[in-house]
């Protein structure tokens, strides 16, 4: 209130504003590691190589030596550079330490590098010989199944169990696509080695359709980012 000759008396109440970006209590909490030392520099190098790979493909630079990679080789190159770091940045469970990289995450890192490199080096032979239709060599089949499992684990760490459970059942379709009980949804195939090839080789489902839009979007993002 204001007196006849006195100052205006003001009372200020403390106002608490809830963070609009805070995650709801029922949502899954995604925890990440703050990298340092070797892993930090390795991630920086991989990020720089990813940018160069995007530029090389978008502007058809052909690596300045006249070599033009197939689209699937390009996709696997991006997987090789980025996917292994999912297991370094995102811990495997809520009690995992955030100040160090666990041995099993380092093992998954190495396994992802090896499997991605093997599949990338198999792409041209697969395209020339039609491995996704005629059958791929056993090591490539095994690598395809390993990549399948690696992707599901990476998806669990980054998107949570809800995303995995909504996608994983559909990845199993090639295993029983020719079953009579599917009715109008019945397809051709499958035999288990071909399920691996159908997922991971040139006409593979997970590599072509979900992953194909990413490189172009990444390039647009990188080219439009402020300096």
How far apart CA 47 and CA 53 sit, in angstroms, is 10
In the numeric block, which tokens belong to residue 22? 């805070």
Contact (Cβ atoms closer than 8 angstroms) between residue 143 and residue 119: yes
pLDDT, block means (10 residues), the chain with 227 residues: 51 51 51 90 94 90 92 89 94 90 96 95 87 81 90 91 88 75 71 68 60 54 44
* Torsion-angle region of 37 (φ positive above 0: left; ψ -120 to 50: alpha; else: beta): left
Location of structure tokens 């099993």: 104
Give the phi and the psi of residue 20 in degrees, each rounded to 5.
Answer: -70, -20
Contact (Cβ atoms closer than 8 angstroms) between residue 61 and residue 115: no
Contact (Cβ atoms closer than 8 angstroms) between residue 14 and residue 142: no
pLDDT for res 181 = 79
* Peptide bond preceding 190 in cis form (omega within 30 of 0): yes
Give the phi and the psi of residue 118 in degrees, each rounded to 5.
Answer: -65, -45
Q: What is the pTM of this model?
A: 0.76
Going through 9-99 in order, the beta strands assigned E by DSSP cover: none
pLDDT for res 212 = 59
Angle CA(200)–CA(170)–CA(54) in degrees, nearest 5? 40
Number of Cβ within 10 Å of residue 142's Cβ equals: 15
Contact (Cβ atoms closer than 8 angstroms) between residue 54 and residue 67: no
In the numeric block, which tokens belong to residue 200? 């991971």
DSSP annotation of 185: G
Number of Cβ within 10 Å of residue 221's Cβ equals: 10
Farthest-apart Cα atoms in the chain, separation: 98
pLDDT for res 75 = 87
């Amino acid at each position: 209130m204001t007196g006849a000759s006195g100052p205006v008396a003001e009372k200020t109440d403390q106002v608490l504003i809830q963070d609009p970006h805070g995650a709801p209590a029922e949502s899954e909490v995604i925890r990440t590691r703050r990298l340092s030392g070797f892993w930090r520099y390795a991630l920086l190098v991989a990020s720089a190589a990813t940018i160069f790979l995007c530029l090389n493909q978008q502007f058809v630079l052909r690596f300045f030596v006249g070599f033009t990679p197939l689209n699937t080789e390009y996709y696997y190159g991006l997987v090789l550079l980025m996917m292994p770091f999912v297991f370094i940045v995102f811990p495997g469970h809520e009690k995992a330490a955030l100040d160090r990289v666990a041995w099993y995450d380092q093992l998954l890192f190495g396994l992802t590098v090896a499997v991605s490199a093997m599949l990338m080096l198999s792409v041209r032979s697969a395209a020339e010989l039609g491995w996704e239709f005629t059958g791929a060599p056993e090591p490539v089949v095994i690598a395809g199944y390993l990549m399948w499992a690696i992707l599901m684990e990476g998806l669990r760490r980054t998107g949570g169990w809800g995303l995995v459970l909504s996608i994983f059942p559909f990845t199993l379709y090639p295993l029983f696509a020719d079953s009579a009980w599917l009715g109008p949804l019945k397809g051709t195939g499958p035999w288990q080695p071909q399920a691996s090839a159908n997922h991971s080789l040139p006409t593979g489902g997970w590599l072509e359709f979900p992953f194909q839009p990413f490189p172009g979007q990444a390039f647009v993002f990188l080219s439009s980012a402020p300096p």
